[in-house]
Structure 1
């Protein structure tokens, strides 16, 4: 835990949150600036700056909590899909976003909205050779 980390302070109880779930390792709470009503964050209580820093068992625990929240969101909000993603844009403390999707573009990149918010545009496909090169670079060694 760090005193300067917003999410560490929430996890320790030093700052308030609208808690949805808590156990000894993780905390789920409502996002103060939601994409849509119900937008939740699931964080580890221990400080890990980025999601790739999380021990696999802790990442799995976060995903399990997110799945339970997603099932509840589907029932509560009558939505077909719930998004789960890690961004780490504003707070350097691993956190998963769980967002009920009321609109197909609730969590969409601008690359998919080239034709406006009420349609879906496919970004250009990369050449097969470039895809192969990227895949070979990303495969774990």
Structure 2
């Protein structure tokens, strides 16, 4: 499924968002999913290890501006990522949040959760150790492959 590229983006942007820069390879990112419309990469300020951002490739400021088909694809991928983080970290649930205040590019947060406290964004801790992020990314990639989604999981 591919979203119509002719749908206008509702807000003019003077420069690419930090997420577009990550998607375009201009900034580093730990990708765990790539398809024609959506990418997923680990947050550098995670709620918990495995905290993943589900991001449409095209820039929209808010999830309420996404064409319905693209919003559906974002949520479908978020569900798969949720299954992956539950499996990779043996979490009883995966939490999902859409806030959108940090970066003006629509994104969905998916993270392994054990309680509501795990969704407290005031507790995020930037990760300074790249090995920690690399290990978490590989753990999630492995889980996604085991769940049968290998064709969308990049090698690194």
Q: TM-score, normalised by structure 1?
A: 0.72
Larger radius of gyration: 1
- Change in 2 beyond 3 A, CA 1:2/1:58: farther
By how many angstroms is 1:108 displaced? 4.7
Q: Residues 45-56 of structure 1: matches in 2 within 5 Å?
A: 45-56=57-68
| Structure 1 segments unaligned to the other structure (5+ residues) | 111-141
- Change in 2 beyond 3 A, CA 1:35/1:28: same
Answering whether residue 54 of structure 2 is matched by residue 42 of structure 1, we say yes
Does the Cα contact within 8 Å between 2:38 and 2:74 map onto a contact in 1?
yes
| Structure 2 segments unaligned to the other structure (5+ residues) | 1-12, 123-156
The root-mean-square deviation of aligned C-alpha atoms, in Å, is 1.9
By how many angstroms is 1:103 displaced? 3.2
Pick the aligned partner of 2:30 from 12, 18, 21.
18
Q: Residues 1-141 of structure 1: matches in 2 within 5 Å?
A: 3-108=15-120
Does the Cα contact within 8 Å between 2:38 and 2:57 map onto a contact in 1?
yes
- Relative to its length, the structure with more helix (as a share) is 2
What is the SS of the residue equivalent to 2:117?
A: coil
What is the SS of the residue equivalent to 2:83?
A: helix
Q: Relative contact order: is structure 1 or structure 2 higher (C-alpha 8 Å, sep ≥ 6)? A: 2
Q: Report the number of matched residues.
A: 110
